[in-house]
Amino acid sequence: MNLSDSINSVSSINSIDLNTVGREMYKLISELYPICRSITGDGLRETLRHIQTYIPLSIHEIPTGTEVFDWTVPKEWNIRDAYIKNSKGEKIVDYKKSNLHLVNYSIPFHQKVSLNELKEHLFSLPEHPDWIPYRTSYYRENWGFCLTHHQWLELKDEEYEVCIDSSLEKGHLSYGEYYHQGRGLDEVLISSHACHPSLCNDNLSGVALTTFLAKHLTPLSLRYSYRFLFIPGTIGSIAWLCLNESKVPRIKHGLVVACVGDPSRLTYKRSRRGDAEIDKAVTHVLKHSDQDCEIMDFAPYGYDERQFCSPAFNLPVGSLTRTPHGRFPQYHTSADNLDLVHPEYLADSFATYLSVLDVLENNRKYLNQNPKCEPQLGKRGLYRAVGGSADDGTDELAMLWVLNLSDGKHTLLDISERSGLPFDLIRDGAKALFEHKLLKEC
């Protein structure tokens, strides 16, 4: 294995045109936006097939009734149409205008109901009267509609015709998986939930970023193998973990990708372990960016890190988002639309993910081959010829740090952290020293 190959492989991606990638991700989001996804059904399947036009994704189907740990794969849900008509026969709420209007997983229903009965099945947001909320009822058979609060206020005391042309029957739960083989079997897991209907930041942005990460890593020879999952939230990760339990120990690092297109600062939620290498890598990259960022502790709430970090797995999986789960006002409403996400923020998130992967790919331990005193860098052309000036070149300083701490106990990331120097500089210093045989890999 050639160190410099390894050192360059991911960071070479940084030469890609981020503006273009940002626009391509936005385009993919736009293509997927109209589809009504759920945790099962044809909308999810159609989404995965569309992703196959970008990357060679495998689509897996798990039959209804399959027991996965404490859970059971539910019946498959499909929806054709749904509406509420008033007494004049006018459609006052229409699924065809927005798939958020229907409570996701609503059972088939066609009946006349009074206003009072109807209201028990309606959801609106008085604090945002123009927005339609997004609600689900996956595990309890029920039906309901979501509407703007303006619509809700206009409801009169009359009889309504409720029609939900859905099916809830034995079928399958679908998910997509793409595995990129690296030089070793140790894996990096990149997971995004793909079960939300017309909602952009949560989580078509995550789906798009995962797709483009996979696309860009595909041509590269990498240290790690990469596993990309496009799964329905909760039940998808539970099913994957249950059916792939033997592969779980290979996962050495992981990130749950969600909400990566909005204009806010980047936020990293640590893994349950809190000090895993992925935690240190993301923290390092964020702190050395010139942007504001937030680092949060793990909590057993949010996205699929809940399952990856359950106590028996306790995987080193964190979540790198922009505004996190539940913290933006448009979250789980019709306002999480194509206006909320922007190519430039998608591109910034993408670049940050790449920087993190670059750290993981290059974060090794080396052994200083001249550990007694400094080696004479000058005779190797690695040190300034004229001495005496007060300024220390950061390149020289990076090499001195690498030499000083390459005692078999410190990774390059540890050295970056202790020195306060960015990983790139430490990595390049290590590369120069390695090429002069002053370092050996540990």
**Closer Cβ to a copy of itself, 90 or 275, answer by number:** 275
405 near a copy of itself (CB under 8 A): yes
Interaction residues for a copy of itself, span 148-177 (CB under 8 A):
none
Q: Candidates 53-61, 108-116, 348-356, 392-400 — which segment interacts with a copy of itself by CB under 8 A?
A: 392-400
**Which residues neighbour 105 within 8 Å (Cβ) at sequence distance 6 or greater?**
38, 39, 77, 136, 137, 138, 168
- What is the spatial distance between Cα 17 and Cα 14, in angstroms, rounded to a whole number? 8
309 near a copy of itself (CB under 8 A): yes
Q: Candidates 56-64, 150-158, 232-240, 256-264 — which segment interacts with a copy of itself by CB under 8 A?
A: 232-240
Site string for a copy of itself, 351-370 (x = CB under 8 A): -----------------x-x
Q: Candidates 11-19, 89-97, 231-239, 357-365 — which segment interacts with a copy of itself by CB under 8 A?
A: 231-239
Block residue for tokens 């010139």: 290
- What is the spatial distance between Cα 361 and Cα 9, in angstroms, rounded to a whole number? 8
Exactly one of 139, 154, 263, 287 binds a copy of itself (CB under 8 A); that residue is: 139
Q: Candidates 28-36, 45-53, 262-270, 385-393 — which segment interacts with a copy of itself by CB under 8 A?
A: 385-393
**Closer Cβ to a copy of itself, 237 or 355, answer by number:** 237
- What is the spatial distance between Cα 255 and Cα 351, in angstroms, rounded to a whole number? 14
Residue 2: exposed, middle, or buried by beta-carbon count in 10 A (0-12, 13-18, 19+)? exposed
- What is the spatial distance between Cα 62 and Cα 239, in angstroms, rounded to a whole number? 8
339 near a copy of itself (CB under 8 A): no
- Name the DSSP letter for residue 2: -
What does each C-alpha distance from 406 to 360, 398, 420, 438, 441 come to in angstroms? 18, 12, 16, 10, 10
Exactly one of 137, 167, 244, 289 binds a copy of itself (CB under 8 A); that residue is: 137
390 near a copy of itself (CB under 8 A): yes
Q: Give the DSSP per-residue string, 39-77.
A: SSSHHHHHHHHHHTTTS--EEEEEETT-EETTEEPPPEE
**Closer Cβ to a copy of itself, 407 or 441, answer by number:** 407
Strand, coil or helix: what is 238? helix
Amino acid at 297: D
- What is the spatial distance between Cα 120 and Cα 126, in angstroms, rounded to a whole number? 16
Q: Candidates 18-26, 85-93, 222-230, 293-301 — which segment interacts with a copy of itself by CB under 8 A?
A: 293-301
Interaction residues for a copy of itself, span 415-434 (CB under 8 A):
418-419
**Closer Cβ to a copy of itself, 298 or 345, answer by number:** 298
242 near a copy of itself (CB under 8 A): yes
- What is the spatial distance between Cα 318 and Cα 296, in angstroms, rounded to a whole number? 10
1 near a copy of itself (CB under 8 A): no
What does each C-alpha distance from 52 to 28, 29, 58, 261 come to in angstroms? 12, 14, 8, 22
Q: Which two tokens stand for residue 366?
A: 């080396």
389 near a copy of itself (CB under 8 A): yes
**Footprint of a copy of itself (CB under 8 A):** 68-71, 103-104, 123, 133-140, 142, 144, 234, 237-238, 241-242, 245, 272, 297, 299-301, 306-307, 309-314, 326-327, 331-332, 368, 370-376, 378-379, 385-392, 397, 400-401, 403-407, 418-419
